[in-house]
Amino acid sequence: MSKAKRLIDILLFVSAKKKFTAQEIADTFHISVRTVHRYLLDLSDMGLPIYAEQGRHGGYTVLSNAILPPILFTEEEAVAIFFAFQSLHYYRDLPFNTEIQSVSQKLYESLQKEAKKKVDTLQSYIAFWNPKRAITTPLLTDVLEAIINQSQLHIHYESKSGITSKHIQPIGVYAHDGLWYMPALLLSSERILLFRVDRIKGIKVGETNRKTTMNLQQWLETDYEPQQPIRLYVELSSEGVRQCLSEPHLEKAVVRHSDGTGYIDTIIDQHELHFNSSLFFRLGQHAIVKEPQALIQLLRQHAHELLAIYPEPKEPQ
Amino acid sequence: MSKAKRLIDILLFVSAKKKFTAQEIADTFHISVRTVHRYLLDLSDMGLPIYAEQGRHGGYTVLSNAILPPILFTEEEAVAIFFAFQSLHYYRDLPFNTEIQSVSQKLYESLQKEAKKKVDTLQSYIAFWNPKRAITTPLLTDVLEAIINQSQLHIHYESKSGITSKHIQPIGVYAHDGLWYMPALLLSSERILLFRVDRIKGIKVGETNRKTTMNLQQWLETDYEPQQPIRLYVELSSEGVRQCLSEPHLEKAVVRHSDGTGYIDTIIDQHELHFNSSLFFRLGQHAIVKEPQALIQLLRQHAHELLAIYPEPKEPQ
DNA sequence: TAAAACATGACAACTATTGGCATGATTAAA
DNA sequence: TTTAATCATGCCAATAGTTGTCATGTTTTA
C-alpha cells in the first residue's frame, strides 16, 4: 500500500480514537514503532492538531474532532456551499457558527482568484432575507441538541397567561419568517402544541425516550382536517386574485377566470375565520365574501367595533 | 518534493488548464514525459475525469470543472454543511442543485455511522420552512447569473397594469417568505424599483456595465427616510404589545410598560398607513390609534366601506 | 529505581520513483 | 504517402525515499 493511503488510514484511525500510543498503531497496522513516530510527525506537519504526553501513561492525543478523509470538490461545489451558507445569514443564535466559519475559510483559501471574486459577488448581491428581529432565541442551540438526541424536555414557557412549566416530547423545530417554532407532544395530555422557541425561558433535558410520534416533515405536511369545517366562498377582482395568490394558505384555492378576476371556494376551519377577516378587510371591494355568513358578520362586527372605538368627530373637517 | 504534493500540484494545474499535452506538464514541473504519463494515470485512478486524444494535435482533456486541493473537514464541519443545505429545502427553482447533490453525497459517504445518523436526524427534525408556494420562479437561475455578472437586463414584467418591458440594472436579489425580490435601478428614470422575480416573464441579458450603484446589503439596510413623515402613536394592551412585537416593521418602536401594556410612538411614511390599517383593524381594542388622524379616518372609512359591502340583513337573526 | 512512554539519530535493507530509451498506435497536416 | 506530434506501454538502471532495527536520550509515574 502506498504511503499516502496508509497515512490517511492512520489519520482516520487516530482522529476517531483521539488518544493512543505509538505501539497501538504499530500493532494495528503491522508497522514498526519507529515508522509510527515518523508518520505522526508527517500528520502533524500536515496540520493535524496532535500532541504527545511524555512518560509512563503518556501517549498521543488528537485535539480536533473526528476528521473525514480528504475530499475533492470542484469550484462550483464550493460556490454552492457558500450559497447555502448565505441562506443562514439573516438568522440569529444558530448553532454551527464556528464550523461555518472554519469551512468558509478553508474553502475560500483554496479557491482561485476568479472563483473568490464569484463568491464575493454572491455574498454581496444575493440574500435570504428574513426579519432580523430584535428577538433573540438564546436557547435555540440547546433545543436543537435536545431534538437531535430525541430527549424529552421540561420547559418554562411564556404564553398569554404568564410563565408555565411543561413536560414535552419535541417533534422537531422549524424556522419561519425569522422565528423558530417547535411542535411538541405535551406529555401530560397527549396533545400536540406549537411553541415559539424564543418564548422558552428555561429548559431541562429529560430522559431520551424514543417515543415515536410523527416526525417534523409529517407534521408540516399534515393538512389539518378542519374540525369545524365551513365553506369559504369569495369573489375576487383581478387585484384580489393577485393578492390572494400571495397568501400561502389560500393560493391553492384561488380560481382564475380568463378576464383576470376569480373566486375562492374552499373549506376552512372555523378557527381560521378570524385570521381571514383581516385579509378580507384589507382587500375591501377587491374581495366580496359570499360565504360563510359568520365571516361576513365578523367583518361587520369588527367594523362596528372600530366605529365605536373611533367615533365620528363632532365637527366635520 | 514528495510525490503526493506534486500530484496535487499537477491536479490543480491540469484541472485549471483543462487541455494540455504531456510535454507541457513535463516542462512546467521539470520532470520527464514518462513520469507525466505515469502521474496522469495515477490521477485518473484517483477519479479525475480525464481523457486523451491520440495523434497529432492530440492531448489530454479534463472534463470536470476546476478542482480544489483536497480539504480535510471535521465531522462537525460536515454536519454544519448539511445544516446549511437543509435551509434551502423549502425553496424551489434554486441554482446549484446538482452541486448540492454531489457535495451531500461525497460528504455523507465519508461520514462514519454515528455521524450519518446525526445528519439523518437533523434532516428529519429540523426545517427552515417557508411557504412552498405553487408559484414557480423559472427565471431565478438566469437572474442570479445576470446579477453575479453585473449585467444589465431587459425584462418583460407583469404588474398590475399588464406586461411591460423594462431596462434595468439589478442591485441584487433576495428571498423573503418564499418569494424572490429584485431591487433594480430603472435605467430610463434612475429610480430604484422592487421587482418580484416570479413576475418576470422574459429576460434578455444586456451589456455588463459596472455602474456602481448601491449593493444589496446597503439597500436592505437602508432605513428609508420617510418622504412624507407622519407620527404614529398607538396605545396597546398587553396582548397588543405581544402582537406588535411580532411585526418586523414595528417591533423596534414598541415601548412596554411594567404592567405589560405599552405604546407605539414612531415616525412612519404616509404610504405605510394603508398597510398599518390592516394590522390595527385586526387588533381592534388591543390597539387604540391616537395619531395620526389620517389613519383613524382610514380605519373609519374602511369600516364604512365594509358596512356598505356587507349591509345588515333585513331580518335580524 | 524501573517501567512505559515519546524523541531522535544512524544505517543497512528494501521499495518506489524516475528518466532514458525503445516500440507501437493514432491522427492530421504537408 | 510520408512525416511529425501525440498518447501508451514496457524495460532497466540510477536515484530517491521508506522502513526496520538498534542505540541513546528524555520525561513521567508507580
Please tell me whether residues A117 and A57 are part of one structural domain: no
Among candidate residues A202, A221, A240, the one where a domain is terminated: A221
C-alpha cell at B63: 472534463
Q: Dump pLDDT digits (tens) for B57-91.
A: 999 999 988 999 999 999 999 999 999 999 999 89
Nucleotide nearest to B50 (CA to C1'): D7
Higher-pLDDT residue of B248 and A216 is A216
Give which of B100, B106, B109, B125 to mutate to test A binding, by max A Cβ within 10 Å. B125
* Run of H or E including A190: none
Looking across all nucleic acid strands, the nucleotide with the smallest C1' to CA distance from residue B34 is C19
Say which residues have a Cβ less than 8 Å from residue A167's Cβ, sequence separation at least 6. Answer: A152, A153, A154, A186, A187, A188, A206
Confidence of residue B23 (pLDDT cuts 50, 70, 90): very high
Burial class of residue A262 (count of CB atoms within 10 Å of its CB; 0-12, 13-18, 19+): buried
How far is C-alpha B227 from the chain's CA centre?
A: 29
pTM as predicted: 0.84
Q: Can you tell me the distance from the alpha carbon of A292 to that of A280, in angstroms, rounded to the nearest whole number?
A: 13
- Which residues constitute the domain of residue B29? 3-62
The stretches in chain A having pLDDT less than 50 are 317
A209 domain-assigned: yes
Hey, are the CB atoms on A285 and B305 less than 8 Å from each other? yes
Q: pLDDT value at position B223?
A: 63
Given A189, A221, A253, the domain boundary residue is: A221
Residue B210 has pLDDT above 70, yes or no: no
The three-state secondary structure class of B49 is coil
- The rounded mean pLDDT for chain A is 86
Helix B22-29, helix B33-45: angle, nearest 10: 110
B69 lies in some domain: no
pLDDT over 90 percentage in chain B:
46
pLDDT of A95: 93
Alpha-helical segments (H) within B187-292:
216-221, 238-245, 273-283
Euclidean distance between CA atoms B251 and A227, whole angstroms: 34
Q: Are residues B187 and B253 in the same domain?
A: no
CA distance B185 to B155: 13
CATH number of the structural domain spanning residue B51 = 1.10.10.10
Q: What is the pLDDT of residues A109-147, one digit of tens each?
A: 999 999 999 999 999 899 998 876 777 899 999 999 988
Q: Cα A191 to the chain's mean position, in Å?
A: 23
B212: pLDDT confidence band, cut at 50, 70 and 90? low
- Please tell me the distance from the alpha carbon of residue B203 to that of residue B142, in angstroms, as a whole number: 8
Residue of B nearest to A140 (CA): B126
- Answer whether residue A130 is part of any domain: no
> What does the alpha-carbon distance between residue A64 and residue A14 come to, in Å, rounded to a whole number?
11
Query: Does the pLDDT value for residue B276 go beyond 70?
Result: yes
Nearest residue in chain B measured CA to CA from A86 = B84
pLDDT of residue A223: 62
Same domain for A108 and A147, yes or no, is no
Residue B305 to residue B291: CA distance in whole angstroms: 21
pLDDT of residue A84: 97
Protein-to-nucleotide distance from the CA of B46 to the C1' of C18, whole angstroms:
21
Residues B174, A129 contacting (CB under 8 angstroms): yes
Q: How far is A113 from chain B (nearest CA, A)?
A: 12
Q: Quick count: other Cβ atoms within 10 Å of Cβ A307?
A: 15
Q: Are residues B156 and B201 in the same domain?
A: yes
CA dihedral A289→A250→B295→A295, nearest 10 degrees, is 30
> Rounded CA gap, A208 and B99, in Å?
36
Give me the mean pLDDT over the B281-305 stretch.
79
Q: Is A225 exposed, middle or buried (0-12, 13-18, 19+ CB in 10 A)?
A: exposed
A163 forms beta bridges with: A158
Contact of B97 with A58, CB cutoff 8 Å: no
- B216-233 pLDDT, tens digit per residue, is 888 877 766 666 777 888
**Chain A interface includes B106 (CB < 8 A):** yes
Tell me how far CA of residue A312 lies from CA of A167, A302, B313, in angstroms: 51, 16, 24
Q: pLDDT tens digit string along B148-200? A: 888 899 999 988 777 899 999 998 999 988 889 999 989 888 888 889 999 99
The number of angstroms, rounded, from the C-alpha of B154 to the middle of its chain's C-alpha atoms is 21
Same-domain check for residues B243 and B301:
yes
Q: How much is the pLDDT for A317?
A: 47
Residue B56 forms part of a structural domain: yes
In a domain, A45, yes or no: yes
CA distance B245 to A135: 9
- Verify that B150 and B211 share a domain, yes or no: yes
pLDDT value of position A300: 80
Q: Are residues B169 and B217 in the same domain?
A: yes
Phi, psi of A136 (to 5 degrees): -105, 160
Closest chain A CA to residue B284? A306
CATH of the domain at B194: 2.30.30
Q: Between residues B107 and B2, which one has the greater pLDDT? A: B107
Write the Ramachandran bin of A4: left for phi over 0, alpha for psi from -120 to 50, otherwise beta.
alpha
Instruction: Please list every residue in chain A whose beta carbon sits closer than 8 Å to the beta carbon of residue B47.
Output: 72
Residue B218 in grid coordinates: 446597503
CB contacts of B312 in chain A (<8 Å) are 300
Hey, how many other C-beta atoms are within 10 angstroms of the C-beta on A195? 23
Among A169, A173, A78, CA closest to A118: A78
Q: Any idea which nucleotide's C1' is nearest the CA of B51?
A: D7
The grid coordinates of residue A317 equal 373637517
CA distances from A46 to A41, A105, B77 (A): 9, 17, 18
Residue A268 near residue A229, CB atoms below 8 Å = yes
Mean pLDDT, rounded, of chain B? 86
User: Of B267, B257, B205, which is closest to residue B231 (Cα–Cα)?
Assistant: B267
Residue A226 parent element (H or E) = none
Domain boundary among A221, A240, A262: A221
Reading the block at residue B23, the C-alpha cell is 510535454
Interface test with B, best of A63, A85, A93, A103 (most B CBs within 10 A): A103
**Domain assignment present for B68:** no
Q: How confident is the model at residue B317 (pLDDT cuts 50, 70, 90)?
A: very low
Chain centroid to CA B239: how far? 34
More confident residue, A138 or B240: A138
Give the count of beta carbons closer than 10 Å to the beta carbon of residue A53.
12
Residue A43 lies in a domain: yes
Backbone φ/ψ region at B148: left (φ over 0), alpha (ψ -120 to 50), beta = alpha
- Distance from the B276 Cα atom to the nearest Cα atom in chain A, whole angstroms: 10
- Let me know if residue B291 belongs to a domain: yes
How far apart are the CA of B253 and the nearest CA of chain A, in angstroms? Answer: 11
Q: Are residues B235 and B214 in the same domain?
A: no
How many folded domains does chain A comprise?
4
Residue B282, chain A, CB below 8 Å: the answer is yes
Backbone phi, then psi, for B78, in 5-degree steps?
-60, -45
